[in-house]
Amino acid sequence: MSRRAVMIRLTALIMLLAFISAPNLFAPVFEPLTTNNAPAIYNQGNLLFLTMAHLGTVFSAALASTLVAVLLGVLVTRPSGVEFLPLSRSLVSIGQTFPPVAVLAIAVPLVGFGEKPTLIALFLYGLLPIFENTLTGLTQVSPLTLDAAKGMGMGPTRRLYEVELPLALPVILAGIRLSVVINLGTATIGSTVAAKGLGEVIIAGLQSNNTAFILQGGLVVALLAVLIHDGLMMFERLLVRRLGLGPAAA
Amino acid sequence: MASPHWTLSPDRLGSMVAVLIGIALYAAPFVTYRANRIAAGAARSIFEALPPTTAFVLVGAALSVAIVAIFVRRSIVRLAAASLGLVVIAPCVGLSAGFVTPAGNTFARVSPALGFWLLGLAFSLLVADALTRLRLGPWARLGALSIAAAAMALLLFSGAWDGLSILKEYATRADSFWSEARRHVLLAIGSLAAAVAVGLPLGVLCHRAPRLRAAILQVLNVIQTIPSIALFGILMVPLGYLAAFPLAAALGIHGIGAAPAFVALFLYSLLPVVANTVVGLDHVPATVVDAARGMGLSNRQRLFDVELPLALPVILAGIRIVLVQNLGLATVAALIGGGGFGTFVFQGIGQTAIDLVLLGAIPTVALSFAAAVILDAAIELSNGTSQ
């Protein structure tokens, strides 16, 4: 990233932090968007708390999807699970045609309103990109490399932990990043089923016809998504360099 | 590692499917009975939900599929068995509605329960696995999709499912169902068409002027990260102002409704179209472009006769992403009065009426799935012709 790009992101981060911790300072900016003396800044809840709740939902769902997706990905690429591999690939592509709203809506009658249906929808929807990338990463490891590892006397477990997973890591991480960014947006829809999060601000704006609310909620989520996307990408590059994989492996 | 075809060692995937079938038959209710549309449900097992003979046929058919799944490895046999299973359970669930509901009771609702869904899942997994292993060509896949669609249409229009709760929800809203369906498809496909009309030239421009590329793609990337409900909401503002002009209002532009949803879907669609056009054009081999130049083709001819046809599979892949994404996102349009299947989904959430939710969700999923299959086939066909 160039110096300028870093500066822009730093500024965005500082603005974002300032806004969620002291939103009232920004009231003059949003005032022109309101009518009939409606409040310019969301006043039915604490923005900092809502942001934390939003991030908490997204990251706990992402953690669960990562664990399950990587485990499944490893299982179906082992010799004993290979019968499941073709079906797994089809299921990933079929699963991604399910709209997140539909997953969310079907989960509500089953588990009730609140965080639970949102967590389930985010977990299920987040599985797909991670699982897909785990499959890609693990099946892309060259057979020559695996033979060399075998020749060095490595057993299947050591091959997995010391050769296959590290080589697949960049692709798996890219899948996690994709899944987190998609879920940051999807989590806002969770507020239609009463989950705590930034979607609340947007929904309140839609209900009271207050564009200032809609814009605030949307901007905070969009900024979070862009910053988290770039942050995760920086982390991936750092990790790949640390592991000595270099760009060739990525 | 080809296993001999006479082996008696059980197939792992098949065993998993068989376990699912076992749970569905013996440990899960087949349908749920409710005294009215939002009352709590009571579970009915297969033998409580169907006349004895039918129940035996159903159990027998399901067990046969389980045995085939475990011991037979030929994909075509597995496909036939699993399809037969689906053909048996689908009318059965419709039949059980009439059997469970007391005669003359019009308030009672019967919906498929866990057991039915698990059987459906088990058979569909087997079908999906067999179809994947058969490596069907694009035409054969389209054929399979048409057969599935025809079977669904037959079940729906023959009245076999009319007793089920979801179709009772449909019956009370038959008119609005089709008008929302039309809106949903128009929103998704219309915004896609607009995005292609704008995105293709923009992609060509990005390809030819590398300086613009980073800037344009960056902006489109940022748009993608704005959550859909926020973008719908934000767009209500400028469109609301526009609607103040008589001409705009005459064109049907309003602050709330379909217009902001259409524009938002259009904006989301731009990135995949532009990015894939750029990538597709980038991957046209330089030697081919040189040869075209050597043959004396003009810039225009080169673009339309050589570069775009060669880039077509990648551009189509972008269009597939957009169409599937739009069909899903169009559900959210209902929140700002834009209509579409989302209307039923959000009404259903509000009334905690799961069948109403499903009335909106199932057609959405079916449309996205069909769109994905059709465009995947188109991509493969265009790959064949462009080489």
Query: pLDDT per residue over B199-217, tens digit each?
Result: 999 999 999 888 888 889 8
Residues B160 and B183 reside in one and the same domain: no
Task: Share the mean pLDDT of chain B.
Answer: 88
* Residues near B78 by beta carbon (within 8 Å), at least 6 away in sequence: B14, B68, B69, B72, B126, B129, B130
Range of the domain at B309: 174-385
Does B219 map to a domain?
Answer: yes
Does B4 map to a domain?
Answer: no
Residues B136 and B195 reside in one and the same domain: no
Where do we find the tokens 């800044």? A41
End residue of a domain, out of B169, B186, B206: B169
pLDDT at residue B76 tops 50:
yes
Residues B156 and B189 reside in one and the same domain: no
Residues B95 and B131 reside in one and the same domain: yes
Mean pLDDT of the A145-171 span: 91
Residues B221 and B357 reside in one and the same domain: yes
- Name the closest residue on chain B to residue A211, using Cα atoms: B234
End residue of a domain, out of B169, B195, B228: B169
Residues B223 and B313 reside in one and the same domain: yes
pLDDT of residue B369: 92
- Say how far apart CA A235 and CA B67 lie, in whole Å: 50
Provide the pLDDT confidence category of residue B1 given band limits of 50, 70 and 90. very low
**Any A CB within 8 A of B3 CB:** no
- Name the closest residue on chain A to residue B236, using Cα atoms: A211
Nearest Cβ partner for A188 among B128, B227, B372: B227
Interface of B with A in 276-305 (CB under 8 A): none
Asked whether the beta carbons of residue A185 and residue B226 sit closer than 8 angstroms, the reply is: yes
Looking at the DSSP assignment, which residues form a beta bridge with residue B41? Answer: B34
Does B1 map to a domain?
Answer: no
Nearest Cβ partner for B342 among A101, A205, A219: A101
pLDDT of residue B247: 64
Closest to B319 in 3D by CA, of B268, B265, B261, B272: B272
Provide the pLDDT confidence category of residue A35 given band limits of 50, 70 and 90. confident
| Number of residues assigned to chain B | 387
| A:B CB pairs within 8 Å | 147
Considering the entire predicted model, what is its pTM? 0.86
Residues B96 and B227 reside in one and the same domain: no
Does B223 map to a domain?
Answer: yes
pLDDT at residue A161 tops 70:
yes
| CB-CB contact of A12 with A223 (8 Å) | yes
pLDDT digits (tens, 9 = 90+) for B282-324: 988 888 888 988 888 888 888 888 899 999 999 999 999 899 9
Residues of chain A contacting B233 with CB distance shorter than 8 Å: 202, 205-206, 211, 214-215, 218
pLDDT digits (tens, 9 = 90+) for A203-236: 888 888 888 888 888 889 888 988 998 899 899 8
**Total tally of structural domains belonging to chain B:** 2
Does B6 map to a domain?
Answer: no
End residue of a domain, out of B138, B169, B200: B169
Residues B182 and B322 reside in one and the same domain: yes
Does B7 map to a domain?
Answer: no
Nearest Cβ partner for A109 among B228, B229, B352: B352
- Name the closest residue on chain A to residue B135, using Cα atoms: A86
Residues of chain A contacting B225 with CB distance shorter than 8 Å: 181, 184-185, 221-222, 225-226, 229
pLDDT at residue B61 tops 90:
yes
Mean pLDDT of the B96-122 span: 89
Would you state the torsion angle of the CA atoms of residues A61, A62, A64, A69, taken in this order, to the nearest 10 degrees? 130
pLDDT digits (tens, 9 = 90+) for A173-211: 999 998 998 889 889 988 888 888 999 998 888 888 888
CATH classification of the domain holding B302 = 1.10.3720.10
How close does chain B come to A185, measured CA to CA in Å?
4
Does B5 map to a domain?
Answer: no
Mean pLDDT of the B170-199 span: 94
Provide the pLDDT confidence category of residue B56 given band limits of 50, 70 and 90. very high
pLDDT digits (tens, 9 = 90+) for B30-50: 999 988 877 888 889 999 999
Residues B31 and B113 reside in one and the same domain: yes
Q: Which residue has the higher pLDDT, B155 or A93?
A: B155
pLDDT digits (tens, 9 = 90+) for B254-279: 566 788 889 999 999 999 999 999 99
Residues B150 and B180 reside in one and the same domain: no
Q: Choose from B131, B234, B332, B368 for mutation: most chain A CBs within 10 A.
A: B234
pLDDT at residue A248 tops 50:
no
Where do we find the tokens 């059987």? B119
Provide the pLDDT confidence category of residue B355 given band limits of 50, 70 and 90. confident
Give the 3-state secondary structure of residue B142: helix
pLDDT of residue B201: 94
pLDDT digits (tens, 9 = 90+) for A47-93: 999 999 999 999 999 999 999 999 999 999 998 888 888 888 888 88
Residues B42 and B183 reside in one and the same domain: no
Q: From residue A16, give the alpha-carbon distance in Å to each of A132, A223, B180, B182.
A: 33, 7, 39, 41
pLDDT at residue B197 tops 80:
yes
Interface of B with A in 93-132 (CB under 8 A): 125, 128-129, 131-132
Give the 3-state secondary structure of residue A141: coil
Asked whether the beta carbons of residue B349 and residue A93 sit closer than 8 angstroms, the reply is: no
Residues B207 and B337 reside in one and the same domain: yes
pLDDT digits (tens, 9 = 90+) for B5-17: 545 567 888 999 9
- Say how far apart CA A199 and CA A42 lie, in whole Å: 12
Does B61 map to a domain?
Answer: yes
The structural domains of chain A, ordered by start, are 46-249 (1.10.3720.10)
Run of H or E residues at A29: helix A27-30
Asked whether the beta carbons of residue A97 and residue B342 sit closer than 8 angstroms, the reply is: no
DSSP string, B52-111: HHHHHHHHHHHHHHHHHHHH---HHHHHHHHHHHHHHHHHHHHHHHHHHSPTT-SS-EEE
| CB-CB contact of B109 with B163 (8 Å) | no
| CB-CB contact of B359 with B176 (8 Å) | no
